[in-house]
Structure 1
Amino acid sequence: MATQETQKSSGTPPTVSRNPLLVSGRLRSWRGVDLISAAMLAVAFGVAFWSFDTFVYPAVAAVFVGFPPAGELALGVWLVPAIVGGLVVRRPGAALFTELVAANIELILGNGWGAGVLLSGLLQGLGVELVLALFRWRRFGLVVAVLGGMLSAILEITCYEWWAYVPGYSVAWRLVYLGCGVVSGGLIAGVGGWALVRALARTGALNAFPVGQEIRESRRSR
C-alpha cells in the first residue's frame, strides 16, 4: 500500500507486474472470505450440475447414441468447479474443496449416478490440485488451467469411469473414451473455467482475491 501511495503522490504510474499475484499471508492459511466464496461457488455449481444432469445431459447422450464413447466430450462440464475454485482462491485444497462440495450438492438434489458422484468429485478435484502443486501454487494462467482439466479427466476416467460406467468397452473404445474426456477437460473445464474466472473478476465480484487485483492493475496500465 505504501508503495502505491508513493507512486500516486509522485505522479509516477503504478508498475503492473506480469507475474501472477500470490495470496497474502501463509499459503495454507485460509481466510474467511476464501472459505465462504469457495462454498458459494460450489453450491452454485452443484445446482448447475443438477440442471445439466436433468435437462441437458439426456439430450447429449441421445446425440452420441450411435457412438457412445464420444459422449465423454461432455465430461468437462463436471470439472469446472475445481478449476474455478483453484484459480480464484489459490490455496492448497481449494480445487478439491470446491469440487467435493459441488458433488455433494449434486447428490443431495438428485442425479443419475448416485453416491458415485462423491468419488468423482474427489478424483476430479485431485487432478487439478496435483497440477497446481506441480507449479507450487505460483502459476494460475490458461496453460495451468488446461493441464488441470486434462489431468482431472484422466484420473476420473482411468480410476473410476472405465470400471464403473463402461467395463464392457474394448481397449480401442476405452482409449477413444479417454481421449474425448481429456479434450473436454482441457477445453470445457480448462479454457472455459479460466475464462469464467476472468469474466467474474471483470465484474468486480472477485476483488477480494488476487485475480481481481490483476484485472484492476491491467485496466490501470491501459
Structure 2
Amino acid sequence: MARDAAFRYRTIDFVTVAMLGVAIGVAFWGWAQLYQVLSTLSAFAFPPSSGLFGGAWLLGGVIGGLVVRKPGAALLTEVVAASVEALLGNSWGLSTVISGTIQGFGVELVLAVFLWKRFGPLVAALAAAVAAAFESFYEWQVYYTDWALPYQLAHLGFFVVSGVVIAGFGGWALVRGLAATGALDAFGAGREHHERTAV
C-alpha cells in the first residue's frame, strides 16, 4: 500500500514533467539546428560517427526519471520534449515523437528493473545506454537502411557512448545541480541533497 502511494502522481509531478518536457524540448530544437551542421561534417569522415551527437536527445527521459521517480515520468518527459521539438520545426517532423517514445521507453525499462528505487550515476548511464540502443535500432530501419552491418554497429557504439556521457552522467549531474539550488526540494533528489549537506 505504501508502495502504491509512492507511485501515485501529485499535481506537482505532472506540472514538473510538463515544465521539464517543454524546457528540454526547446533545447532539443536548438540542438537539432546545430546537429544539421555537425552531422554533415562527420559524414565526410565516417557516417556512423553521427551517433556521437545523439546523446543529447536522451536527456528528457533521463532527467524526468531522475527527478519525478515514478513509473511513466521518463517516458512522458521525453515525449513532451520530442513533441515540442517537432512543433517548433525540425527536419524529421512528427517522427521525432516516435523517437521520443522509443527513447523514453528505454529509460523506463531500466528504472523498472531497479523498481524506481535507485537513481545514481550508474543507473542513469545504463538507462541512457539502453535508450540509445533502442533509438539506434529504430534509426537503422528508418534512416540507415542502406548501411552494412558494420556501419550499423559502429553507429550503435557511438550512440551508446554519447548517451552514457551526455544523458547518463550529464543528466545525473544536471539533476544534482538543480537539487543544490533548492528547485527540487519537493522531490527525492532535493531531499537527498539536503541529507548529503546536513551538518
Give the TM-score taking structure 2 as reference length. Answer: 0.96
Matched, 1:73 2:52: yes
* Structure 2 match to 1:125: 104
1:68-107 matches, within 5 Å, as 68-107=47-86
- Say which of 190, 194, 197 aligns to 1:212: 190
Write out the 4+ residue segments of structure 1 that deviate beyond 3 Å after TM superposition.
Answer: none
Q: Which amino acid aligns with 1:79?
A: L
Q: Residue 27 of structure 1: CA displacement? A: 3.1
Q: 1:25 and 1:206 mapped to 2: Cα distance?
A: 22
Matching residue of 2:175: 197
Query: Percent identity between the aligned chains?
Result: 48
Q: Deviations over 1:129-181 (max 9, x none)?
A: 000000001100001000000000111111x1001111100111011011101
Q: Which amino acid aligns with 1:97?
A: L
State which of 28, 33, 41 in structure 1 corresponds to 2:7.
Answer: 28
2:159 maps to which residue?
181
Q: 2:42 aligns with which of 48, 64, 68?
A: 64
Q: Say whether 1:161 aligns with 2:157.
A: no
- SS of 2:96 mapped into structure 1: helix
Unmatched 5+ residue regions in structure 1?
A: 1-22
Q: Greater helix percent: which structure? A: 2
- AA of the residue aligned to 1:106: E
Q: How far off is 1:217 after superposition?
A: 1.2
Alignment of 1:108-147 (within 5 A): 108-147=87-126
Does the 8 Å CA contact 1:27/1:92 hold for their aligned counterparts? no
Asked if structure 1 preserves the Cα contact closer than 8 Å seen for 2:39 and 2:53, the reply is no
The residue aligned with 1:13 is: none
- Kindly indicate whether the alpha-carbon contact (under 8 Å) linking 1:87 and 1:140 is maintained by their aligned counterparts in 2: yes
Per the TM alignment, residue 65 of structure 1 is displaced from its structure 2 partner at its CA by 2.1
Give TM-score scaled by structure 1 length. Answer: 0.86
2:43 and 2:28 map into 1 onto residues whose CA distance is: 21
Secondary structure of 2:31's counterpart equals helix
RMSD: 1.3
Letter in 1 for 2:157: G
Q: Which residue of 2 aligns with 1:20?
A: none
Flag the 1:207–1:25 CA change in 2: closer, same or farther, 3 A.
farther
C-alpha displacement of 1:32: 0.5
Secondary structure (helix, strand or coil) at the match of 1:77 reads helix
